[in-house]
């Protein structure tokens, strides 16, 4: 069975479970950021284990279920927990959930994650919108034969997808506006992805700073690449879970990352509740523009 067929099977299964919901927005929740799922009303909960071919997360803080319902009054599908390359999953498995979101008809995805802060000005617990990324994972999820059937909008599904605006400027500006209404500023940052699972050395962090990175993490980038391949718009939101290696007085631990996530998750939930109807309006406008001759 090809990956495309497996994705189609998983999506068909979910469509039945989601009934008439018809979400256009997907949200992927990172370490400790599960509260967004609790803000979903009339939820339909589907554990990953029930979905055909779906990978299961082995990391503490990643629950592993889909919560679909209304957020801020608009239909969304939330992935509570993701799988990572460092868990031993293949690139295809890591990005499988995003492919399923594409097949469900998702037009915009919010990818959230915990990250280490490299920029001097960041404080622990702050949220940062990704403006760009640097892929130092050592691989790309699109390696292998191109599958043009994964195009869910005109012009998508290309062998060489453009990455000039991997993270949508329009979504970022909506997010900044919503954050300022919530009473906080949303900085922009460049996310550098490593495979993990070891945290970085201080020398690596100095090197990454010289390369132009302001955040470092072990996820998000493969999902962004696959989303762009399918023509899905991406908003990346990182929670600065710790100062990157060598910058703070302490050593790094997953417990700390998880604990900071728990402090920030409610602010993130309020932001996304405010943001979801605006993202929905934006993707609807774009869809109508596509229909024009």
Which are the catalytic amino acids? 31, 62, 84, 86-87, 114, 218-219, 242, 254
175 binds ligand HPA (CB under 6 A): no
222 binds ligand HPA (CB under 6 A): no
Least CB distance to ligand HPA at residue 162 (A): 27
Q: Which of 116, 141, 189, 222 binds ligand HPA (CB under 6 A)?
A: 116
189 binds ligand HPA (CB under 6 A): no
Q: Which of 66, 178, 216, 272 binds ligand HPA (CB under 6 A)?
A: 216
Q: Which of 29, 83, 226, 252 binds ligand HPA (CB under 6 A)?
A: 252
193 binds ligand HPA (CB under 6 A): no
> Residues with Cβ < 8 Å from 237, sequence gap 6 or more?
110, 111, 112, 113, 127, 128, 129, 130, 175, 268, 271
Biggest distance spanned by C-alpha atoms of the chain:
59
64 binds ligand HPA (CB under 6 A): no
- The window from 6-14, 57-65, 85-93, 213-221 that contacts ligand HPA (CB under 6 A) reads 213-221
199 binds ligand HPA (CB under 6 A): yes
Q: Toward ligand HPA, which CB reaches closer, 8 or 194?
A: 194
DSSP bridge partners of 133:
191
> Residues with Cβ < 8 Å from 288, sequence gap 6 or more?
none
Report d(CA 97, CA 77) in Å as an integer.
11
> Residues with Cβ < 8 Å from 254, sequence gap 6 or more?
31, 59, 60, 61
111 binds ligand HPA (CB under 6 A): no
Nearest-CA neighbor of 70 among 112, 29, 18?
Answer: 18
Cβ pair 42, 273 in contact under 8 A: no
40 binds ligand HPA (CB under 6 A): no
130 binds ligand HPA (CB under 6 A): no
56-67 core/surface letters (b: 16 or more CB in 10 A; e: else): bbebebbebbbb
150 binds ligand HPA (CB under 6 A): no
Report d(CA 73, CA 70) in Å as an integer.
5
| Footprint of ligand HPA (CB under 6 A) | 114-116, 199-200, 216-218, 241-242, 244, 252, 257
């Amino acid at each position: 069975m090809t990956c495309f067929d497996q994705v189609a099977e998983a999506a068909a299964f979910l469509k039945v479970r989601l009934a008439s919901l018809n979400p256009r927005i997907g949200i992927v929740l990172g370490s400790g950021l599960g509260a967004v799922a609790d803000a979903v009303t009339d939820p339909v909960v589907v554990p990953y284990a029930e979905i055909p071919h779906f990978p299961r997360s082995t990391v503490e803080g990643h629950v592993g279920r889909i919560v679909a319902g209304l957020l801020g009054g608009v239909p969304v599908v939330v992935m509570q927990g993701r799988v990572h390359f460092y868990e031993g999953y293949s690139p295809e498995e890591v990005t499988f959930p995003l492919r399923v979101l594409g097949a469900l008809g998702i037009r915009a995805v919010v990818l959230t994650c915990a990250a280490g802060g490299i920029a001097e000005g960041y404080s622990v617990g702050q949220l940062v919108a990704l403006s760009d990324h640097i892929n130092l994972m050592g691989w790309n999820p699109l390696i292998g034969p191109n599958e043009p059937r994964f195009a869910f909008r005109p012009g998508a599904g290309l062998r060489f997808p453009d990455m000039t605006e991997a993270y949508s400027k329009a979504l970022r500006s909506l997010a900044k506006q919503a954050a300022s209404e919530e009473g906080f500023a949303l900085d922009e940052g460049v996310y550098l992805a490593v495979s993990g699972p070891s945290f970085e050395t201080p020398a690596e962090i100095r090197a990454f700073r010289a390369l132009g990175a302001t955040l470092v993490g072990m996820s998000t980038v493969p999902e962004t690449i696959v989303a762009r391949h399918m023509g899905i718009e991406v908003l990346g939101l990182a929670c600065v879970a710790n100062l990157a290696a060598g910058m703070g007085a302490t050593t790094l631990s997953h417990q700390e990352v998880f604990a900071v996530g728990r402090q920030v998750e409610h602010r993130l939930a309020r932001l996304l509740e405010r943001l979801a109807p605006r993202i929905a309006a934006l993707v609807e406008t774009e869809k109508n523009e596509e229909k024009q001759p």
